[in-house]
Amino acid sequence: MSIRESDWKAFKRLRAVALERFSQRVLDECQEIYSKRDATAHERYGELYDLIHERNREMAHAFDHFSRSKALLSLRLIRMHNLLTEAEVAEFSEETQFATDVDR
């Protein structure tokens, strides 16, 4: 199902915002792992490797299919990761908000 033009325009703008937030969240997680002083460098490296691998998979699912026909699925995944504020979600039509609601 494709989304309306006004929602597509909002999606294109807010997708970039969500991607930046996702990336920052991953960097924050990396910093937390890096800062662990009770783990060896090798243990931290392994933990970082696993984290990056998992987050890269999540990022690909939510952001790699940049098309109007896949926008609702992508937006639903972005919302699942809590990457948009309520005010940002409110920029979409009620129909799109409902279609991408992760709590229903």
Tens of pLDDT, residues 61-99: 999 989 999 999 999 999 999 999 999 999 999 999 999
pLDDT grade, residue 29 (50/70/90)?
very high
Chain mean pLDDT for the chain = 95
**pLDDT exceeds cutoff 90 at 104:** no
CB atoms within 10 A of CB 103: 5
Q: How many domains does the chain have?
A: 1
pLDDT at 1: 65
Q: Is 104 domain-assigned?
A: no
Q: Is 11 domain-assigned?
A: yes
Q: Is 9 domain-assigned?
A: yes
Report the b/e string of 54-86 with b at 16+ CB within 10 A: ebeeebeebbeeeeeeebbbbbebbbebebbee
CB atoms within 10 A of CB 10: 20
pLDDT at 2: 77
pTM comes to 0.91
The whole domain housing 73 covers 5-99
